[in-house]
């Protein structure tokens, strides 16, 4: 059993491993810098509008999640994920997950399972752990693919 933080970015519902989340804060309290960076606790972090990045933008995300994409790597740096809503914590068992539906190859690398919440009528994608931060730089164009090295870095053990 594991605990996940459910967030919404645009129209996409996501689950983040709660152990990889450092802090949740309102974006109005955040010092934004140029080049998609922000200041958090006197540290400069890469900042990413998650809805826009995944192709489901919103008018203005209101929450920031300080998240480490590689929590088990010594010295791994957190990043700021900008989301529309932080919804709740969910405790899920291994049997609560389903296989992913067909996704474009360039976005498939970011997810490893889906949770179907029949009560709310939602499909909630689980963000992979151990994602290489470089993968968040930008999605490749539809006719491009990620290199083997990038894909290998993103594969869970």
CA distance linking residue 134 with residue 157, whole number of Å: 18
> Could you give the strand order of the β-sheet that contains 37-40, starting from the edge strand earlier in sequence?
21-26, 63-67, 79-83, 43-49, 37-40, 31-33
Q: Which of 14-28, 73-87, 137-151 has the lowest mean pLDDT?
A: 137-151
pLDDT bracket for residue 70 (50, 70, 90): confident
Q: What mean pLDDT comes out for the span 94-119? A: 86
DSSP string for 35-65: TTEEEETTEEEEEEEHHHHTT---S---EEE
Task: Enter the DSSP assignment of 94.
Answer: G
pLDDT at 139 over 60: no
pLDDT bracket for residue 7 (50, 70, 90): very high
Phi and psi of 94, rounded to 5°?
Answer: -55, -35
Please enumerate in sequence order all residues whose Cβ is within 8 A of that of 144, keeping only pairs 6 or more positions apart, or say none: 106
- 153 closest CA partner among 117, 113, 106, 110: 110
Alpha carbon 68 to its chain's center:
9
């Amino acid at each position: 059993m594991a605990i996940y933080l459910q967030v919404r970015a645009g129209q996409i519902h996501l689950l983040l491993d709660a152990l990889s989340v450092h802090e949740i804060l309102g974006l109005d309290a955040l010092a934004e810098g140029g080049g998609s960076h922000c200041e958090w606790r006197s540290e400069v972090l890469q900042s990413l509008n998650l809805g826009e990045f995944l192709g489901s933008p919103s008018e203005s995300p209101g929450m920031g999640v300080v998240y480490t994409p590689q929590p088990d790597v010594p010295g791994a740096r957190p990043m700021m994920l900008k989301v529309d809503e932080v919804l709740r914590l969910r405790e899920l068992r291994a049997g609560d997950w389903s296989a992913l539906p067909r996704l474009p190859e360039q976005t498939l690398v970011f997810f490893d399972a889906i949770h179907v919440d029949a009560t709310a009528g939602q499909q909630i994608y689980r963000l992979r752990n151990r994602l290489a931060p470089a993968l968040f730089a930008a999605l490749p164009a539809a006719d491009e693919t990620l290199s083997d090295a990038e894909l290998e870095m993103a594969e869970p053990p």
